[in-house]
Structure formats: C-alpha cells, structure tokens
Structure 1
C-alpha cells in the first residue's frame, strides 16, 4: 500500500498527464484521450462537448490503460480552458472547425501536428471517405507522436485493478 501511495503522489506532481483509454473499437488501440488540468481531466464528450471530469467519470469513455507523464510540459492555461469549456464535439473530425474531438483538443494543447487522415472503408461509414486526406489526429497518433518525442507511459491497468473492481 505504501508503494501505491508513493506512485500516486509522484503522478500528481507531474506537470501534465495524458490519459489513453481503450474501448470497443476496431479502428485503433486507443478510443479516447484526455489531458490533466487541476486534478481533473479535460476531454470532449460526444454529447456534452468539452468538459472537465474526474477519473471515475472519464472511465465511462473507456478503460484507462495508459497515462503518459510529461514533466517538461505545463497543463493548459486557465484562459484556454475557459475558452474551450462547453465547445461542441466535432462529429465531422475537422481540424479547422470550432468544435473539438478528443485527440484534436489534446493535440492542439501539446502543439502536435495533424496528418492526412485515412478511413478504412470496411470499418468507417461511407460519409467519412470525404475526409480522407484532410488534416486530423487520432488518439493513436497522439500516443505515437509523444512516444517519438521520448515520453513513456505508465500502465494504469494494474493500478486500477487493485483499487477498483471491474
């Protein structure tokens, strides 16, 4: 138990954390991503848009499996958070729209670069094919870009399995 408390204290002192969640998706490993802000998680919800939630509430978006700790980055500014809270979810996954999807929000905060999007026709509805080649970023892309920058994750699953009953 003492080691668990030390681990939690170390994570809470990190300047910024990025949470990666897995869900029932055939599209990639991660189905959702969020970023820490003042002890909560800033993310986008498909119906409520950009919001701040607890770790427990974030768990409704999928299984929290990885947390990446970025010690040399700061959490988003209070001004930015106040500007984006309540903004709508972008169901069209457009990098240029006023709305946000989860990885676009985190990508913008961390200064990550979008890449031309691809949509496997066997998985995605035909309406998404019109977005092929447009700039965007997925939760897997966020994970890969941060990993290439040298950041590493801490597996969250063993920690959660000891704290919560799944």
Structure 2
C-alpha cells in the first residue's frame, strides 16, 4: 500500500498543470491588446496601477480576458514572478528598474527577453508624443500574446475580440 501511495504521489507531481494568460482589449484604444494577466496555481498575477505587482486569489468574480491562452505551468519561473510582487507600477514602462508593468511582470515570469519597444500606433503617443521615438527595451502585451500562441495548449476568445497580427519584415537581398 505504501509503494502505491508513493507511485501515486510521483504521478501527481509529474503531471503538469496549466497556467492561463488573459489578454484584455478596449475598443477605445487602437492596439488590439492593452493588458495581460497570469492565472497560476489558484492566483491571478498582475501589475495594477494602484497596487503594483500583486497576486490575488482566483474567484468566480476574477475578470476573464477577451482572449485566454492556456500554457504549461512548466513555462513559469516562480522565482522571477515572486520578484515582481510588491513592486510599484511603472508608468514609464522601463525594463531595468525596481518597478513593474503588466507585460514586464508576465514576461519575466515566462523568461521572455525584452526587445526595443515601439509605441507608434498606441494610445500612449496621444498623451506622450515624444514616446513615438522611444525604443527602450521592454515587452508589450502583443509580444506576450505571440509567445503564448507559440506555446498554446488551448485558446478561447470572446466574440468580437481583437488579436494582434504578426508583422513580417522583408529584408532586401
């Protein structure tokens, strides 16, 4: 009996659970996705503009994204995720500081490397026109979406949800 229980525990601990990435859109902003959260092990992790990096228990009232992508929880770096908890929200979207924003929190939890950001075509340039020329390292919700689609176990979408499109760069010969 004891060996049966040990085998059962081994099977349960080897089985991977799913994490869910929630992508939120807003018809008042031009970009298809403007916010991302991570559901993982009974909590939703997010960067809130008032509370910064936080993890809240999942409940029936937890908002569900317009697009939900299920990925293996093996992709989650718990140490990197924990390091984002309690950090204040970063309104300037800077990668290498002691603040966080939604894509940074989720990107670090997924070990996604930052790339130069492009704010053109976003609602931010309306309020910060000089950001059109910023190309600081960081991540956008779109980049998290593409990563998630490359690793998706299951995808669900609300009717009318907008998803970003990959742009192809043509390099001349």
Tell me the CA shift for residue 84 of structure 1: 2.8
Tell me the CA shift for residue 32 of structure 1: 0.8
2:121 paired with 1:118: no
CA contact (8 A) 1:95 1:135 kept: yes
CA distance in 2, matches of 1:153, 1:146: 10
Q: Which residue matches 1:23?
A: 26
Larger radius of gyration: 2
Tell me the CA shift for residue 81 of structure 1: 4.8
Normalising by the residue count of structure 2, what TM-score does the alignment of the two structures yield?
Answer: 0.67
Structure 2 unmatched runs, 5+: 1-15, 160-173
CA RMSD of aligned residues (A): 2.7
Number of aligned residues: 140
Tell me the CA shift for residue 98 of structure 1: 1.1
CA contact (8 A) 1:14 1:69 kept: no
Q: Which residue matches 2:86?
A: 86
Secondary structure at 1:73 match in 2: helix
Q: Which residue matches 2:38?
A: 35
Normalising by the residue count of structure 1, what TM-score does the alignment of the two structures yield?
Answer: 0.70
Secondary structure at 2:119 match in 1: coil
CA distance in 1, matches of 2:97, 2:28: 24
Instruction: Detail structure 1 runs of 4+ shifted over 3 Å in the superposition.
Output: 54-58, 79-83
Tell me the CA shift for residue 88 of structure 1: 0.4
- Bigger proportion of residues as helix: 1
CA contact (8 A) 1:36 1:75 kept: no
